[in-house]
Structure formats: C-alpha cells, structure tokens
Chain A
Amino acid sequence: MFLAALTYTDDRGVSLDAALVHRLLQRDVNAFEQLYDRHSRIVYALVLRILQQAGTAEEVVQDIFLQLWRNAQRYDESRGPFVPWLLTLARNRALDTLRLKSERQRRREEQTEELPPVVSAPEFEKSLDLKRRAERVRELMTSLQPQQKRAIELAYFEGMSHTEIAAALKEPLGTVKSWIRNGLLRLKEGLQATT
C-alpha cells in the first residue's frame, strides 16, 4: 500500500523534501534515492492510472525523476510544497504522453505547462497527515454520485474538457460543470473537516 510510504507529517515531510531537493543541486545521489523511495510509488500509481500501460508509465516516471535530478533548481520551496508540485508535474507529463495518441492534442498543447505553476496549499494542509489525507481523498471520492465521480475522473485522469465529458457521459454541459465544481468543493471541505 503506497500510503504506508507517506508516514511523515506534512510539516516534517515538506521541509525534508525541500532539503532533499536542495541537496540535489550538489549532485547528492543519496538525496535523489531518498526522494525516489519517498514518492515514486504515488507518482507511478498516478501515471499508470492515466496511461494504463505499465511499460510506458515506467518510461514517463523515469523521465520525471531524471528531470528532477537534472533540473532541481526549478523547484522553488517558496512557491508551495513539493509533493503537489511533483504530482502536478507527473500528471502533466502523463497527459502529454496520452495526448500524443489522442485527438485532444491541440487543446492540451495550448493548455499544458511543462512545469507546474504556483500551488498554494491552504492552511489546513500543514496539519493534515499525508496518510490520512490519502485515505480521506478516497473516501470522499467514493462518496460522490457515480456519474459525478466519473466526470472528475475523466477530467483528471484522461484530460477531457467539460464538452468532451458531456459528450462521453451523454449529459447536459451545465450538469457536468456543476458535478465537477461541486465535487471538487466537497473534496476540499472534506479534507478541511478532517483536520
């Protein structure tokens, strides 16, 4: 279970991750190995969920961690915690790979950024244990209506737009927009209430 790897509290984990990334600038191989051991499982799980093919997923994960090793200076601790930054990077790279095989190429080319932009963690982020948060995300997603959950999955894991999701689910566009926004707000409230 990858949750077992997320045993640090955020305060400790965030600062430890930032320190490890800083050590990469000195070409510290041990720091790289620690970062890989701490986060490769969730990164791989995310990329595999998007690409659905283990071999391609491993190639993308390898690319992500090599990019981290070679361009560690691109992570700026002042702009937000490391893990959401890494997960955003991983999702973008996986969707880029998926995009090459899909007709959604043009839309995502306009939209996807190679490196993740600013991520501001809310106050409750600091007091929320990573393991509990991961469990809570699953609980909250499972509690959504099946179609609402499916709409969010199509957007996050398959990179679909509102219109594409409405077509895929054969539901009105406005309904899909409401499902996604309300679902995300419920997720946010649920995570906040966990603290």
Chain B
Amino acid sequence: MSNADTFREMVEAYALGALDTDERVALEAHLASGCADCMKAIEEARWLVSQLAYYAPDAVPSDMLKGRLMQTVRAEAKAAPISTSSAKSTIPVWMWAGVAALLVFSIYSAWTARLLERQTREVNERAAAELRQLQQTNQELLAAKREAMILTDPASVKIALAPSGKDMPSLEAMWHSQLGLCVMGHKVPMPGSHRVLQLWLIPKAQGAKPMPSVTFWPEPDGRIAKLVMDPPEAMQEVKALAVTEEPSGGSPQPTSAPMWVGGLS
C-alpha cells in the first residue's frame, strides 16, 4: 500500500475527529504537501460526517428559546448595524502578514494559489474565533464586575429567600435599582430531569401576576450566582421574590409552588 493510500484511509476518521494525535499530525503534514486527492476526500468526508446529525433522536426546543432569541435579534436589528471593520481590525498584524505572504506565493502557481486561498480563509476564521472568545471573556468579566458592584454597593437591598422545605438551604438576593439583581446560594439541589429553577418577581399591585425572570441551574457543587441585569419590574413595584421549579425553558406563569420566597422590606 502506498503512502497516499494510507493517508486516504484516514480521511473519514479525520473528518469525524477520531484520529489520535500522531496520525492527525501526519495527515495534516501530508495535506500541507498539497495532496489534492486527500483534500477533496476530506471535504466530502466532512459532508458525510455531518449527515450523522440525523441519527440524533428527535427533540424540540422550547418556545421560550425562540422567544429569547427573537427578542435579542429584534433589539439588535433596531440598534446600529454591527461594523465588520472592527472585527477585522483586531486580527493580529502577524496573521495578516502571513496571509499576505501566502498570497504573494500564490502568483507562482495556479494550483498553489487555490491551496493558499483555502489556508488563508481558515487562518481568518481562526482569528475571528479567537476574537469571539475574547469578546465572550470580556462579557463574562463585565458580568462579574457588575455582580461585585451589586454586592458591595451600600444602595443594594438584601433579600433573604426562605426555603419551603426544612432540609433546603436558604437563598439570598441583592438588588440594586440601577445595576440589577443577583441571586446567590450554596448547596442548592439540582432540579429534576428536564426541569429548571426560575425566578419570579411578585408585584405589589393587587391581583397582579408574578413576573417571569431568568431560569438557571446550580453549578455541579450546588453553588448559585445568577445575575439579572434588567429585571422585568422596578424594585419599588415589587413586594417579593420567589423561585420555583419549572419545565426546561421556563414558564410564562408559575406551574409549581415556590421553593424559596423572600419579601422586600
């Protein structure tokens, strides 16, 4: 069997992500040498592997998911269009230099040009992925900073949420009228299968229905630290907070008795 045949037999596993490191490195070196047959075979194998998605058992996302997505998308559509130039400008200079070098090299050979074009695209995509990771990290940092401000600002109101069961831990919330609401707890049991914890704001107005807020799960160690940046009701209009267990995706109205309740003094 020739070397090319050996590599050709690896392409399906490569597309599947199942190759062990040594084989993957060897195959990628072979591809970098410009084997058009293997490159084409891998592109087709990626399509084949994608078809395995249809083997997943049928499942339906909740209506709440679509609601949340559409709310976000509509809000962003109303805002100023996202500039793509800012994304491009944050790609490291060295990466652009690499792209430029690849393009110059492509002049010498039409075939090489085709290969380099593909590599360039993948370099850009990796850079964009790094940028997205950075943006996500920044968002998490901002959320952590806001949580810290809520917890330390003297203007925040502390709300103790008493459990309905004697063996359950208490929760605590801190609410700042401008910064938002933070719910915390320790050793909180995980909700049942396909269930989620949901926060509710109980309005002061007579007969008003509870306002649905965020859904969340405890961390594996039972810790909860959930930030609500924009509570659905102003603090002065709310007389209590409650947490219930709801079907996955949350509910527009509570479907079970509160597991924790705490009044705003």
Contacts and interface: CB of A to CB of B under 8 A. Distances in A.
A79 to B, nearest CB: 8
Interface in B240-265: 248-249
A95 B17 CA distance: 11
Interface string A147-161: 000001101110111
A62 B65 contact: yes
Contacts, number: 194
A38 interface: no
Interface in B61-111: 61-62, 65-66, 68-70, 72-74, 76-77, 81-82, 84
A137 B17 contact: no
B196 interface: yes
B230 to A, nearest CB: 17
A118 interface: yes
B261 to A, nearest CB: 23
Given A33-B70, A134-B54, A181-B13, A115 B60 contact: no
Given A80-B43, A80-B47, A177-B13, 18 more contacts: A1-B58, A27-B76, A29-B77, A36-B70, A45-B58, A48-B56, A49-B59, A55-B248, A69-B76, A119-B46, A120-B46, A121-B47, A122-B44, A152-B52, A162-B19, A180-B18, A184-B12, A185-B12
Interface of A: 1-3, 27, 29, 32-33, 36, 40-42, 44-46, 48-49, 54-58, 61-62, 65-67, 69-71, 73-74, 76, 80, 83-85, 87-88, 90-91, 95, 107-108, 110-122, 125, 133-134, 137-138, 141, 152-153, 155-157, 159-163, 165, 177, 180-181, 184-185, 187-188, 191
